[in-house]
Amino acid sequence: METATQEALKKLFESKLNKAMRLYLDTCAHCGLCVEACHVYQAMPETKYTPVGRAEVVRKLFKRYFKVQGKIAPWLGEVIELDDKSVDMAYEAAFSCTGCRRCVTVCPFGIDTQQVMNIAKLLLIGAEKQPQILSMLSDMSIAKGETWKETADDYIAALNNLAPEVEALAPTPPGRPTIPIDVENANVLYVGLSGKHSIVPAAAILNAARENWTISHFEAVNFAAWLGDGEKQRLIAKRIIMEAERLKVKEVAVVECGTATRVLKFMTGSHPFKIVSIVELIARYIEQGRIKVKSGTISGTLTYHDPCQLGRNGGVMEEPRYIIGKLTDKFVELTPNKEANWCCGGGGGLISLGEHEFRMKTGKVKADQMRASKADTICTACENCHTQLTELNEHYELGMKVESLTNLVAHALTGFGA
């Protein structure tokens, strides 16, 4: 590695050294408590797949370049140099971590491996060794933010084509479009994904609730969050924030996407509008009696997978259970669940990267959980988790149905206009 590159990487590293990061890098006692907490390690018990093993790649670089010990007695902390080898190690560490933060909950100091991995990811960007697919998808999202007006007509036409499917689930309130767009002063701005599966059920629920809502021109997913590029992450989120400001909405409801929800809800500062997950909104509608759902529309027993970014990292754990309680009385929990739930193995951008073999291996602990639940159907509230669970279901021949919670609710809607 050239000296200039090395210097540039050091500066990038330093740019990430905020209070939390300094504490994370200085304090680890190597107690090893986090080791067993990682689903990747559970499937592939190697040191490099432990949270501490991953963080050590960054920590050893930190010691080498930012601590006295690394300069006078590097052997004490087995420091490593910033070179091609360590960049490769950083890649393996960063992209074998789904950022589920299960390790945070067992670490006696709460060291956040996901945050530490953001340093590794930034070094990869600096060394131009980041996953190109995530870079490309991030750039496309940013470009969409700049050119959305040019494609708006096509988008609106496509939305109109979905109207019959929405109507089949719930009637549109009189005098309103089935999938409204660009509605100023709407109560809710719904941000979906690019597929109709993320739009149709949500639109039906919002219409059944007779909500004054509008749909976003953008998809919620934030590829840059997985890439570890803070600036791109901000730009992607900013498109939606600006749209909400332009339309003067009261609330932004984010599709079933854990990372998008977490980024928008917690990482974009304060706004004159609330940001919630669609799951929270549905729970509120049921609680307020604005929508009614039929119990017993799901055959057999149902279980729920807590998406890490929505549950442990977003606090949405009781709402899905409340909704499920209205849908069925044959609910069984996965063990463990809620904040202790195992990651499905699809987070951190691994779905976008492909990585099928790795994901199937590391998803074994989740597959075992699913099998042990003996449930007929598993539902979740995250697009990535849904994809991963579907693939695990096939790979491990679990014979379960995999559903999205919003879709289950949409198909159980009843009592319209009551």
Q: What does the binding site for another protein look like in residue numbers (CB under 8 A)?
A: 17-24, 26-33, 35-37, 45, 47, 50, 52-53, 56, 67-69, 75-78, 101, 104-112, 115, 266-267, 311-315, 317, 338-339
Nearer to another protein, 20 or 162 (CB): 20
Place of tokens 């549109």: 172
Q: Which is nearer to another protein, 173 or 315 (CB)?
A: 315
Residue type, 352: S
Q: Identify whether the C-beta of residue 2 lies closer than 8 Å to the C-beta of residue 15.
A: no
H helices within 16-131, ranges in order? 19-27, 39-43, 51-66, 68-72, 84-94, 102-106, 113-126
Nearest residue (CB) to another protein, 45 versus 354: 45
Between CA 313 and CA 307 the distance in angstroms is 9
Rounded to a whole number of angstroms, the minimum distance from the CB of residue 41 to another protein is: 8
Q: What's the min distance (Å) between Cβ of 383 and another protein?
A: 20
CB 385, CB 344: distance < 8 Å: yes
Rounded least distance, CB 254 to another protein, Å: 16
State which residue, 18 or 132, has the beta carbon closest to another protein.
Answer: 18
Nearest CB to another protein, comparing residues 1 and 17: 17
Q: Which is nearer to another protein, 309 or 373 (CB)?
A: 309
- Residues whose CB is less than 8 angstroms from the CB of residue 237 and which lie 6 or more positions away in sequence, other chains included: 222, 263, 264, 267, 268
- Shortest Cβ 120–another protein spacing (Å): 17
Torsion of Cα atoms, 196 then 197 then 203 then 205, to 10°: 170
| Closest approach of another protein to the CB of residue 401, in Å | 28
**Least Cβ distance, residue 339 to another protein (angstroms):** 6
Enter the tokens of residue 359. 């994901």
Distance CA 409, CA 114 (A): 32
Instruction: CB nearer to another protein: give 104 or 324.
Output: 104
Q: Give me the least distance between CB of 234 and another protein, in Å please.
A: 9
Burial (CB count <10 Å: 0-12, 13-18, 19+), residue 42? middle
Q: Provide the token pair at 223.
A: 């590829």
